[in-house]
Amino acid sequence: MLGPEVPYMSAIGALMYLANCTRPDIAFATNLLARYSSSPTRRHWNGIKHIFRYLQGTIEFGLYYSRNPEVGLVGFADAGYLSDPHKARSQTGYVFTYGGTAISGVPKNKLWLQRLQIMRKSLLSMKHVESVYG
């Protein structure tokens, strides 16, 4: 167990703010660590420090909102049956985009978010082909 000298709750609060406002890529890990807020251990604190190191290495990432977005709300969702074997829980992930920018969501994991980005790029390239040759 961590003592009161470790700012675990403050770190979780800061990470949740980032996950909700500008960095949805850390939402899964942050929410996972927030489950242990009542009795965090050194392992959980190391997880928080790992997220902060990731953020420092990817400081150029974030949400981008263009001035003239293509209008349209698009949603993606995924679920994994019993994907948390320790507690026998299923986990889900979703993301909603408006004008090509994520406005809401909880990614299931990093790999799922990468697949979503690849799928979005292929959809945009298909739209481009349709607009040129359609």
Taking residues 62-91, what's their average pLDDT? 69
Most confident range (mean pLDDT) of 9-13, 75-79, 110-114, 116-120 is: 9-13
User: Measured between alpha carbons, how far is 30 from 26 in angstroms, rounded to an integer?
Assistant: 6
Name all contacts of 120-124 with Cβ < 8 Å and 24+ positions apart.
Answer: 124/100
pLDDT reported for residue 61: 80
User: Measured between alpha carbons, how far is 113 from 22 in angstroms, rounded to an integer?
Assistant: 15
Kindly report, residue by residue over 91-100, the tens digit of the pLDDT. 677 777 777 7
Q: Scanning the structure block, which residue is given the tokens 């994991």?
A: 109
Q: Which amino acid is at 72?
A: G
Cβ contacts of residue 45 below 8 Å, gap of 6+? 2, 6, 8
Kindly report, residue by residue over 9-45, the tens digit of the pLDDT. 999 999 999 988 778 788 889 999 999 999 999 999 9
